[in-house]
Structure 1
Amino acid sequence: MICIRRARPTDAAAIGAVHVATWRTAYAGLLPDDYLAHLSPVRHAAGYEQGIADRRNGHAVFVAVASGPDAPMDRPGEGGAVIGFVSGGRARQGWLAQGEVQGEVETLYLLEDYRDRGVGRRLMRAMAAHLAAVGCRSAMLWVLKDNPTLWFYRHLGGRPAAREMIRFAGQPMEQLAFVWDPIETLLAATAPAPES
């Protein structure tokens, strides 16, 4: 069974491990091997622990937890194992939504073995519902142009709205901003399928 819930401070170590594992698979060949090899789950965990506790600007972190037969074979646990997460809040830059209160999905990471099972969509739904609840009328996210999961945001109805060059791991990279305006378009795209 896989459930989505609000993250707790005790989830920070698992979230840091998921962050590093997903970067090493998703960005292999895009970012330098040396950079990926030196990513630190402990350092990322410390940042996420702070992020879980800090709820200013509507910030929230949600986790996907697998238990029972869905739990990873290498990490069985009574409470389940964190296999993915999403974080976000009110947008750090509000220029993409003309004067509207805008939400931003800051991170969305899911272990490779759990992709194509609807878990990413469920995480996006949890964040979209949260952003709507804190008064955001639209949502956006930044994603590297060469990220292999770019199709996912298009599939959910994200509209490319901006692009910018950034320096990351010592090299120039292009990132794209996807927007859901109004936020109800993201809520509709991530709604559970009706049962027959």
Structure 2
Amino acid sequence: MICIRRARPADAAAIGAVHVATWRTTYAGVLPEGYLAGLSTFRHATGYEAAIGDRRHGHAVFVAVAKGADAPAGQEETEGGTIIGFVSGGRSRRPQIGEGEVETLYLLDDYRDRGVGRRLMRAMAAHLAAIGCRSAMLWVLKDNPTRWFYGRLGGRLVAREAIRFAGQGLEQLAFTWDPIEALLLATAPAPEV
């Protein structure tokens, strides 16, 4: 079973580990190998611990937790299960693109194409709507091989931006859902047959 819940401070280490693991697989060949090798689970965990406690600007973090047969093989399952993905966001840093922003969405490779990313996006969309955001947006690197996911959820490409990251020039893309109900509808659970 996989459940989605609000993150707790004790989840920070597992969230940091998911962040590092997903970046190393998703951005291999996109970002420098030395940069990816130097990613620190501890540093990311420290940042996520602060993010979990920071409710300013409507910020929230949700996690996907696998239990029982859905838990990753070879990993010790804690009492509450194993964190396999997460999403974070809050009020947008660029309100002219969207009122709410999905800042991060990371999911371990073995759990892709199983509806978990969609469920994490729904949790964030519902949160953003609950804090009064009428639209949502996110940035994704153009070379991210999973960027198609946002288009499949009905996100509209509305902006491109050149950035410098890890010592190199990259392009990022902004997707938006306006109104936010479009994202809620796109991530609604499928009716049972």
Same-fold status (TM-score > 0.5): yes
Q: Which residue is 1:36 aligned to? A: 36
1:100-119 alignment runs, 5 A limit: 102-119=99-116
- Find the aligned partners of 1:62 and 1:48 in 2 and give their Cα distance: 11
1:24-173 alignment runs, 5 A limit: 24-77=24-77, 78-97=79-98, 102-173=99-170
* TM-score normalised by the chain length of structure 1: 0.97
**1:127-180 deviation digits (Å, cap 9, x = unpaired):** 000000000000000000010001100000000000100000000000000000
* Pairwise CA distance, 1:76: 2.6
- Find the aligned partners of 1:132 and 1:154 in 2 and give their Cα distance: 20
- Find the aligned partners of 2:148 and 2:175 in 1 and give their Cα distance: 11
Query: Any runs of at least 4 consecutive aligned residues in structure 1 with deviations exceeding 6 A, and if so which?
Result: none
Structure 1 unaligned runs (5+)? none
* Pairwise CA distance, 1:61: 0.1
Identity %: 78
**1:1-39 deviation digits (Å, cap 9, x = unpaired):** 000000000000000000000000000000000000000
> Counterpart amino acid of 2:96?
W
- Find the aligned partners of 1:75 and 1:57 in 2 and give their Cα distance: 35
* Pairwise CA distance, 1:83: 0.2
* TM-score normalised by the chain length of structure 2: 0.98
* Pairwise CA distance, 1:73: 1.4
- Find the aligned partners of 2:132 and 2:108 in 1 and give their Cα distance: 30
Q: Secondary structure at the match of 1:117?
A: coil
- Find the aligned partners of 1:17 and 1:74 in 2 and give their Cα distance: 15
What is the aligned length? 192
> Counterpart amino acid of 1:39?
L
* Pairwise CA distance, 1:75: 1.8
Structure 2 unaligned runs (5+)? none
Q: Secondary structure at the match of 1:3?
A: strand
- Find the aligned partners of 1:75 and 1:89 in 2 and give their Cα distance: 31
Across the aligned residues of Structure 1 and Structure 2, the Cα RMSD in angstroms comes to: 0.6
